[in-house]
Amino acid sequence: MKNNYNFSLSMPLFILIGLLVMNHSLFIHAQEEELLHSELLEKSKNHYQEGERLYEEGDYLGSDEEFKKAQDLLDSLEEKEAVDKQKEESLISENNTDKQTTGDTKKAGSEDYLKKALGFSSNGESDKAIENYQKAGLLMPKNADIHYNIAIEYLKTSRFKQAVEELEKVILLNPRDKDAYYNLGILYEEHIKDLKTARLYYSRYLKFAKGNKDIEEVKTWISLIDKKLKSGSLKGL
C-alpha cells in the first residue's frame, strides 16, 4: 500500500484587494445635491431673463440688479460645487480606510488562528489544528493552502474521505497544485477504490510536476492502473 503522501505544510499567502464601493447614504446625498443644483440654476436663469426684460423697457438700474442676482447665484453654485467635491473625496477616502482596516483585521485574525493551528499540528493535536485552520478559512475563504493543511491533518488521522473533500477544494481554488493532485491520486486508488479517477489525478500531477523526483514513480503507477483497468481484475470493473 502506498503511504507516501506529501505532508508538506503550506503557509498561506494573503492578497488583499481593495474594492471601492459607494454607500447608500452617499447616493441619496448625490440625488439631493443634484436637485438643489437644478433649482439654483433655474433661479439664476429667471433673474437673468427678468434683467433682459427690464433692460428692454429702459429700467437699467433694475436690470443691473437682476443680472447681479443671477451672477451671485452662479458664483455661490460654483463655490458649493467645489466644497461638495472636497466632501465627496473625503468620504471616499474614509470609506477606503475603513475597508483597509477591515481587511487588516481579518488578516491579523487569520494569522492568529494559523499560528495556533501549526502549534497544535506539531504537537499531534489534529482536531484542534483542524478547528483553527477552519476558523482561518472563514476569514480567508479563497486561500487554497488552508484547505491543503486541513487535508494533511485528516490524512494523519486516517480520515480519508474528509481529506479528499479538502484536497478537491484546493484544486478548485488552485488548479495547478501538483501536491493536491498527487495525494488525491493515492487516496482514490488506495482508499476510495476508484482507479479511473486516481489515474486522472496522477495524470494532472504529471502535467504540473515538471522536474519532480516522483514523476517516474507516478508514471509506473499509471501503467499499473492501465493494466488493471484493461484486465478488469478489480472487483466491480
Whether 9 is covered by a domain: the verdict is no
Q: Which amino acid is at 225?
A: I
* For the chain, percent of residues with pLDDT exceeding 70: 69
Burial of 71 (0-12, 13-18, 19+ CB in 10 A): middle
Burial of 182 (0-12, 13-18, 19+ CB in 10 A): buried
Name every residue whose Cβ is closer than 8 Å to that of residue 180 and which is 6 or more positions away in sequence. Answer: 144, 148, 151, 167, 170, 171, 174
Name every residue whose Cβ is closer than 8 Å to that of residue 66 and which is 6 or more positions away in sequence. Answer: 47, 48, 50, 51, 54
Question: Which grid coordinates belong to 20?
Answer: 471601492
> Are residues 29 and 104 located together in one domain of the fold?
yes
Name every residue whose Cβ is closer than 8 Å to that of residue 218 and which is 6 or more positions away in sequence. Answer: 182, 185, 202, 205, 206, 209
> Are residues 146 and 205 located together in one domain of the fold?
yes
- The residue out of 89, 108, 127 marking a domain boundary is 108
Q: What is the mean pLDDT of the chain?
A: 78
Whether 121 is covered by a domain: the verdict is no
Whether 7 is covered by a domain: the verdict is no
* For the chain, percent of residues with pLDDT exceeding 90: 48
User: Which residue range is the domain that position 59 belongs to?
Assistant: 24-108
Q: Write the pLDDT tens digit of every residue in 129-170.
A: 999 999 999 999 999 999 999 999 999 999 999 999 999 999
CATH number of the domain at 163, please: 1.25.40.10
Whether 129 is covered by a domain: the verdict is no
How much is the average pLDDT of 85-112? 62
Domain tally, the chain: 2
Whether 180 is covered by a domain: the verdict is yes
Whether 82 is covered by a domain: the verdict is yes
Whether 214 is covered by a domain: the verdict is yes
- The residue out of 108, 131, 162 marking a domain boundary is 108
Whether 118 is covered by a domain: the verdict is no
- Distance in angstroms (rounded) separating the CA atoms of residues 52 and 110: 70
Provide the whole-model pTM.
Answer: 0.57
Contact 5, 167 (CB under 8 A): no
Return the CA Rg of the chain: 34
What confidence score (pLDDT) does residue 184 get?
Answer: 97
> Are residues 147 and 209 located together in one domain of the fold?
yes
- The residue out of 93, 108, 123 marking a domain boundary is 108
Residue 40 predicted with pLDDT over 50: yes
